[in-house]
Amino acid sequence: MQRLLRLARIISVGIRFGLDEFVLAHARTRFLLVVVQRVLFWRALTEPRAVRLRLALEALGPLFVKFGQVLSTRRDLLPADIADELAKLQDQVPPFSTELACAQLERSFGRPVTEVFEQFEALPVASASIAQVHFAVLPGGRECAVKILRPNMQQAIEKDVALLDSAASLIEVLWVDGRRLKPREVVAEFAKHLNDELDLMREAANASQLRRNFAGSPLLMIPEIYWDYCSSSVMVMQRISGIPISHVDDLRAAGVDIPRLARAGVEIFFTQVFRDGFFHADMHPGNIFVSTDAEIRGKYVAVDFGIMGTLTDVDKNYLAQNFLAFFQRDYKRVAQAHLEAGWVPADTRVDEFENAIRAVCEPVFDRPLKDISFGRVLLRLFQTSRRFNVEIQPQLVMLQKTLLNIEGLGRELDPELDLWTTAKPYLERWMSEQLGWRGFARNLLSEAPRWANMLPQLPRLAHRALAADPSAGIERALDRLAAEQRQRHRSTVMLCLLLAALLAWQIVLVL
């Protein structure tokens, strides 16, 4: 019954915001769209379709807002107007009550909140679609931030994801672009992200790994996780004072070197991607601060580690080669890298692919960030990808989302930032470390324990190989072939006998 009521609510919101335009756009159902529009003549749909879609998701609540945020990252699948509008969805949603928050904490800790914290602020400092954050003080005076999962999220997610999957199935059938947009795959990807974010122990582990990766870094600070107070529904971490990255005037007033901060942001991004292959994939302005604490003043501070991206060594090498070839305007090398990775069909003409990439990338060189829109560049790249049947890699979709976030941060901090000049030396240094003598030495060191384990066994293995009779394997193979031949001979004899019997039977019938 509850599912039916929720479905009725979704349908009513869809009708109010004219989402029937999306569902009934296919040629086979166009007549239904005309009928619906005439029946609902009283609707005044003055806003563009993308705006109406965003408003509908906001009206349906936090989970649908989250779905819109995830959907906005799939610029390889969405029309530009919809992707741009969904990107405007904000993380701020109405908080749940302090009573519910305290009840969640008591279930997690097995004791009253007053026995866990010396002080707990009732008013949340941040509220998002999955959880909200309160400030508190631990025993001994340590200030902390307490992230609490929204109550009953698992049940709500299962119901809404089931409805979204049903809607996606309809869209595949009824919408003109339904199959190309792969709505069911997008819903499955959304469900995976949600399930990852529902486990705050996983998020705490992500934060701990990122903190370890940047231990002692002069650029990035990750809050310490207080593991004794963490569970699947509660995460407690170090509280750090800072200014939101988007408050540029406040940063200037605090004496922060803004151009240096922008360059540091680029280096942090490339360090996460190419050195570690483990990167913060939700770097919007609400999750990035600049520290005002005396010891770490001016450092970036990242929060919210529910969505992290990972890359293999193969991914990293592929990306680095592409970036360097791109910076050197070697578009043929970019095209060849795609072919070598198997991301485009083997029969693709390299010269045509090269020309298409050149047409997208050449206009953005030697221009400051304020004159470049990575959103438009990526959109044109994805259009080119569709034309050449490029297989979009899921891990690179997360990277694309992060790159768009970096673009937004860089544009707010320093529109004059030359991204190419800043990034190229870092990439060249990284490639030298990977492919030069440093990389060779590092690979030797990493393989040394395995070699040390194998070396004492080599004499025994060599003796076994030399002592083995080489003819034994040939004899076994000949015996196997002879057995197979005998089996085929028996089958042939049986078949001949069967045919003879049938022939004799036919002769008897004739006589």
- The model's pLDDT over 474-491, given as tens digits with 9 standing for 90+, comes to 666 667 766 766 666 665
Distance from the first to the final alpha carbon of the chain: 77
Q: Mind listing the pLDDT tens digit for each residue in 122-162?
A: 999 988 778 899 999 999 999 999 999 988 877 777 777 77
CB 130 within 8 A of CB 149: yes
Q: Mind listing the pLDDT tens digit for each residue in 250-299?
A: 999 988 888 888 888 888 988 898 888 899 888 777 788 999 877 778 89
Q: What pLDDT score was predicted for residue 441?
A: 64
Mean pLDDT of the chain: 76
Burial class of residue 212 in the structure, from the number of CB atoms within 10 Å of its CB (0-12 exposed, 13-18 middle, 19+ buried): exposed
Query: How far is the CA of 281 from the CAs of 49, 354, 403, 480, in angstroms?
Result: 28, 29, 9, 57
Tokens at 128, concatenated:
């998002």
**pTM, two decimal places:** 0.70
Other CB atoms within a 10 A radius of the CB of residue 326 amount to 20
Q: What pLDDT score was predicted for residue 510?
A: 47
Given a cut of 90, whether residue 100 has pLDDT beyond it is: yes
User: Which of 20, 76, 160, 282 is the catalytic position?
Assistant: 282
Q: Has 469 been annotated as catalytic? A: no
- Give the span between the Cα atoms of 454 and 338, in whole angstroms: 37
Other CB atoms within a 10 A radius of the CB of residue 116 amount to 20
Question: How does DSSP assign 447-511, residue by residue?
Answer: HHHHHHHHGGGHHHHHHHHHHS-HHHHHHHHHHHHHHHHHHHHHHHHHHHHHHHHHHHHHHHHH-
